[in-house]
Structure 1
Amino acid sequence: MDKNRMELNGFKWPDGDVHCRKVVFSSVIDMEPALRLTDGRAVAVQAGGNCGVWPAWLAERFERVFTFEPDQTNFDCLVQNVPENVTAYRAALGSKRGRVGMCLDTRNIGAHFIDGKGSIPVKTIDSLKLKACDYLCLDVEGYEMPALIGSVQTINEHRPVIQIEDKGLSERYGYQRGEAIDWLKMLGYRVRHRVARDVILSCAPA
């Protein structure tokens, strides 16, 4: 076993985590309502990748998965935990390229969040120039709005089913709770489901 790592349900995992490991494996079913709305199974984009539980689950259902995880410790575990059809980036998602810092919670590796300046690269989904995008899932601790702004071309071209977390954390970046949902509605989306703290939207008819 790697130093400072443990084995958890067959996944490499940071051994300091206490809280995330209790919920992340059972939470993958929160994506099932979105996938029932998703006609294509070519490409899924997911962030934050954490240690790979969600992208690994998606990899069984899509031909190709792109995932983003900015924290180095999480990312090191993620790349050991996901299959070959997952492309992983050690980066944050945002509205434009740049560099950011992070506030880390080593006892809850799912609660890290973007904070100020730093050395972590920021990518946009639009920079991937995807030929398909069937599903977009963002759980980025309040940074959903910048990530969506950086994916507007992809959204307009491919009209993926979109799942975002909405629990008020966006306020730390100056966005109101629900602002990302309203923004997507202006692009022609509507809310289809609410699962736990996630909102699922699509352009498909009822």
Structure 2
Amino acid sequence: MPTPQQHESLISRIGNIIVRFWEKYYQHPKRRQEIAALTSPFVHTTDGGLRFKIDPAQYIDKIIFVEGLYEKRFLSFMKKVLPGNSVILDIGANTGNHAIYLSGGASQIHCFEPNPETFERLVENIGLNGIQNIQCHQLGLGNQNSIASFQVNLDGNLGNSGYVSDTAAQPKNTKIIQLPIKRGDELMEQLDLKAIHFIKIDVEGLEPVTLDGLRQTIAKHRPIVAFEFHGQHAKKDDFPSISSTLPGYVFAEICFAPENDGLMGKLKWWLRHGEAPELHQIEVPEPRTYENIIAIPTTNFLTLNGLDLKPPRKPLTA
């Protein structure tokens, strides 16, 4: 016979499914229509009480307005599993979506964002929320100190901006500016952080270089690390380069109900898992985009959070 706790869990999951359907088929379409009719930036308060300056022309801003946060499920998961009073590095902080949400459970967050326009919006959003535990740094992190070419995306997604080589072809709707890069380990020594619990990296393909510059920091603090990986565009040695900077770590994909799964498949997932994801181990990445790979320094992380590591996920068919 199910325990009262199991009944409560099932009731909670059914409630979450009802909320999801209401959001998917009513709230989100309504909000998409609303923002499609807007052209000027405005201050928006999310259902969770967070405030953002929204630019209707920007991709991530649209998602924040419609869904309340960008990568909402991932952030909710990380907030649950990170220890209280965490110290966090947000490398490629964009306009502050991740840092602002996680700031409520952190003691310190250090944001790194080199793009002047994006940095200005990051600082503004932090100010709108009256947050005191986030420190912003207008630079990129790499494996050497330099001034490098930075390609700014002008096509409605500032998050796709990033450092490029001087010989790279320049796509349309971009501009090139020169911005600083600081070797990560050197800057961490200057900041003199007593602990680092979580590093989130979103640097548009330069993850191997960023992590290479943080080797000493990672070896000292053994933080959880989360990063994007575009397997379909990666070079053969990109993932081995990343894993070499994280010796002893286990890599996993955070899997929620697949977007291309049918309605019944999603219902089964939500009833079985609720809001919790599965963690599937990654040994050799597939040639596709991984939105968030999580690198785990110890199996204690899994045990403490009641998680298990499943075998690599079977490739999804189109």
**Alignment CA distance shift 1:180-1:6 (3 Å):** farther
Describe the shift of the 1:28–1:41 C-alpha distance in structure 2 as closer, same or farther (beyond 3 A).
Answer: farther
Q: Which residue number in structure 1 is paired with residue 214 of structure 2?
A: 151
Q: Which amino acid aligns with 1:30?
A: F
Contact 1:193 1:200 in 2 (8 A): yes
Report what 2:224 is aligned to: 161
CA deviation after TM superposition for structure 1 residue 34, in Å: 4.1
Measure, in 1, the Cα distance between the counterparts of 2:226 and 2:194.
Answer: 20
Q: How many residues align?
A: 199
Note the alpha carbon deviations across 1:113-147, whole angstroms, 9 max, x for none: 11235531112332222221000110111111111
2:160 aligned with 1:100: no
**How far has the Cα of 1:15 moved from its partner?**
5.6
Q: Which runs of 5+ in 2 are unaligned?
A: 1-39, 46-50, 167-176, 256-289, 303-318
Aligned equivalent of 1:199:
293
Is 1:11 aligned to residue 47 of structure 2? no
Change (3 A) 1:22 1:12: closer
Specify the structure having the higher radius of gyration (Cα).
2
Residues 95 and 13 (structure 1 numbering): CA distance in 2 closer, same or farther, change over 3 Å? farther
Considering only aligned residues, what root-mean-square deviation do their CA atoms show, in Å?
Answer: 2.5
Query: What secondary structure sits across from 1:75 in the alignment?
Result: helix
**Post-superposition offset of 1:148:** 0.5
Equivalence for 1:38: 82
Q: Which amino acid aligns with 1:26?
A: Y
Given that 2:95 and 2:122 are in contact with CA atoms closer than 8 Å, whether structure 1 keeps it comes out as yes
Amino acid in structure 2 at the alignment position of 1:52: G
* Residue 128 (str. 1) matches residue 188 (str. 2): yes
Q: Which moved more, 1:175-184 or 1:136-145?
A: 175-184
In the superposition, relative to structure 1, how do residues 198 and 79 fare at CA in structure 2: closer, same or farther (>3 Å)? same
CA distance in 1, matches of 2:183, 2:102: 20
Partner residue of 1:20 out of 60, 66, 69: 60
**1:40–1:134 contact (8 Å) kept in structure 2:** no
Residue identity over aligned pairs, in percent, reads: 23
1:156: how far off? Answer: 0.3
Tell me if structure 2 keeps the 8 A contact 1:50–1:78: yes
* Structure 2 counterpart of 1:179, one-letter code: P
Q: Is the 8 A contact 1:98 1:122 kept in 2?
A: yes
Matching residue's letter, 1:111: N
Residue from 178, 190, 194 that aligns with 2:250: 190
* 1:41 positional shift: 3.0
**Normalized against structure 1, the TM-score is what?**
0.84
Deviates further, 32-41 or 127-136: 32-41
Distance 1:57 1:169, change over 3 A: farther
Are the equivalent residues in 1 in contact too, given 2:150–2:178 (CA < 8 A)? no
Residue in 2 aligned with 1:51?
A: 95
- Extract unaligned runs of 5+ from structure 1: none
Q: Is the 8 A contact 1:102 1:113 kept in 2?
A: yes
Question: Secondary structure at 1:110's aligned position in 2?
Answer: helix
Counterpart for residue 109 of structure 1: 158
Would you say the 8 A contact 1:12–1:81 is kept in 2? Answer: yes
Contact 1:144/1:180, CA 8 A, preserved across alignment: no
1:166 and 1:177 in contact (8 A); partners too? no
